[in-house]
A and B are shown apart, each in its own frame.
Chain A
């Protein structure tokens, strides 16, 4: 049983890790936790649903189409709303992202209604393979693989590509980045696009396990946020690890202690982390010079 809980916790954890990554990518560039993240992912998942079910497209096309939509949505929100803010402070930017959350939630409720839907996923959640004492569904495996591939891509992107390195530079010192020829506004757009796409992947992987309605990402967002706080809001690796740790702890707690209080674990962890290591488990603590 322990092994089973561990393995399925790992699979759930990878979804949290994706959401955490999506949040951290934006947080690192602008110090804004994007509370609209979940609803952006939910809307993109609905777009995948519409392409797939309503318009009878192939799964691959719908998947790619919805990621494309997610990228545009991210760029659009950043460009149209956040960039217009005059002399913004962090708090007002956070409020704008809360605004996104409400607008997008309303939009989805109006367009698709509150009825619960099922996103047909080509990989089954019921066919399983045996892995020693535990079983893993094909969907679990697909989730794990997709997440790992995505993380590998992100790693290569930030470590070796010109745009990725420019993004890191912008995070550390936007003015120095600008006078060295980096278009920081462009970088911000790319950040939002990437983050939105990662969130959309999480949404589409989650939809077959959960049910697709406007509340799809409500809880996963909070869990992903907790995971990011746990691992450290300033480190991509930390946020991803935070996601896995949270998924496993939560599952073990659900299995051994109490299934009803399983969801509370995430918030308990946030409180503990904020008490003992506010910068997160894996973040080096940098004191900002004023």
Chain B
């Protein structure tokens, strides 16, 4: 099936030993938009992300990215296509500095071979120039996310909110076309959340990155989403704009209980 959509999921299903974690979920994300997935704990939101980034292989369905089905590709291949993500429980290289973590986000763009990499001390060499280019990119991200103070610190010992930002920074360093954010505001105070909203908006507007977002903070979701998909027990309930979602009876039921 020829498909010229930017990013579309068709009939995605995956089960774990009898438990249907994601059941026939499908949606379409238009380029440059912010698309959010909401739902109670255990609804299957993170499982959808894991299918997109290749960590799980779904039982059925299609994930079309730029006209090609990406199901069955290994995670590193999917990263190379320009899909970056963050995790709910931060996954950083904890014994490296912030700078090194972000530089690892540049991995897919690095072309220097083993020999020139090991001998790049010569100024003006191709390897040195590449290194400078990558470092400039990373410095820009550090400036963007206000991470200067953490630049040369080992990330393992930094505050939770900072670690979340570093993970976001690392995902940006990959220069993604699509960015998957799994509960980026979890564990942040309200001030940090305000900053986060600005940054996500910046990423969308200035970098032109399409964003898929999982969040529990309804205010944040309603503020920044273009479209929202609500799911419960792995099944889609409804999809619409923030205003539509807020009024939808099934969503209210899933969140507030019946009556």
By a beta-carbon cutoff of 8 Å, the part of chain A in contact with chain B is 153, 156-157, 160-166, 168-169, 172-173, 175-184, 286
Taken together as a complex, chains A and B put the C-alpha atoms of A175 and B104 apart, in Å, by: 13
Taken together as a complex, chains A and B put the C-alpha atoms of A156 and B170 apart, in Å, by: 24
Most buried by A among B76, B112, B119: B76
B37 interface contact, C-beta 8 A = no
Residues of B within 8 A of A168 (CB): 93, 96
Taken together as a complex, chains A and B put the C-alpha atoms of A172 and B91 apart, in Å, by: 10
Residues of A within 8 A of B76 (CB): 178-179, 181-184
B94 touches A175 (CB 8 A): no
A176 touches B53 (CB 8 A): no
Contact with A along B112-151 (1 / 0, CB 8 A): 1110011110000000000000000000000000000000
Stretch from B77-85, B183-191, B231-239 that touches the partner: B77-85
A165 touches B104 (CB 8 A): yes
B71 interface contact, C-beta 8 A = no
A160 touches B118 (CB 8 A): yes
B79 touches A181 (CB 8 A): yes
Taken together as a complex, chains A and B put the C-alpha atoms of A156 and B114 apart, in Å, by: 10
Residues of B within 8 A of A181 (CB): 76, 79-80, 107-108, 174
Cβ < 8 Å to A, chain B residues 83-98: 84-85, 87, 91-96
Number of chain B residues close to chain A: CB under 8 A: 35
Residues of B within 8 A of A180 (CB): 79, 84, 104-105, 107-108, 170, 174
B110 interface contact, C-beta 8 A = yes
Residues of B within 8 A of A165 (CB): 100, 103-104
Residues of A within 8 A of B94 (CB): 172-173
- Closest-by-CB residue of B relative to A159 is B118
By a beta-carbon cutoff of 8 Å, the part of chain B in contact with chain A is 53-55, 74-76, 78-80, 84-85, 87, 91-96, 100, 103-105, 107-108, 110, 112-114, 117-120, 156, 170, 174
User: 9 A-B Cβ contacts within 8 A?
Assistant: A160-B117, A162-B117, A169-B93, A172-B96, A179-B78, A180-B79, A181-B107, A181-B108, A183-B76
Taken together as a complex, chains A and B put the C-alpha atoms of A165 and B134 apart, in Å, by: 15
Residues of B within 8 A of A179 (CB): 53-55, 75-76, 78-79, 84-85, 91
- Extra 10 A-B pairs, beta carbons < 8 Å, given A162-B117, A166-B107: A157-B118, A161-B117, A168-B96, A175-B91, A179-B85, A180-B105, A180-B108, A182-B76, A183-B74, A286-B156
- Closest-by-CB residue of B relative to A186 is B76
Taken together as a complex, chains A and B put the C-alpha atoms of A177 and B96 apart, in Å, by: 13
Taken together as a complex, chains A and B put the C-alpha atoms of A27 and B54 apart, in Å, by: 27
A178 touches B75 (CB 8 A): yes
Residues of B within 8 A of A178 (CB): 54-55, 74-76, 79
Taken together as a complex, chains A and B put the C-alpha atoms of A177 and B110 apart, in Å, by: 15
- Closest-by-CB residue of B relative to A153 is B118
The 4 A-B residue pairs whose C-beta atoms are closest, nearest first, are: A181-B79, A181-B108, A161-B117, A178-B75
Taken together as a complex, chains A and B put the C-alpha atoms of A261 and B148 apart, in Å, by: 56
What is the minimal beta-carbon distance from B111 to any residue of chain A, in angstroms? 8
What is the minimal beta-carbon distance from A179 to any residue of chain B, in angstroms? 5
A162 touches B107 (CB 8 A): yes
Residues of B within 8 A of A182 (CB): 76, 104, 107
Residues of B within 8 A of A166 (CB): 104, 107
A161 touches B108 (CB 8 A): no
- Closest-by-CB residue of B relative to A161 is B117
A169 touches B91 (CB 8 A): no
B53 touches A172 (CB 8 A): no
What is the minimal beta-carbon distance from A181 to any residue of chain B, in angstroms? 4
Residues of B within 8 A of A169 (CB): 93, 96, 104, 107
Taken together as a complex, chains A and B put the C-alpha atoms of A178 and B100 apart, in Å, by: 16
A157 touches B80 (CB 8 A): no
Residues of B within 8 A of A161 (CB): 112, 114, 117-118
What is the minimal beta-carbon distance from B183 to any residue of chain A, in angstroms? 16
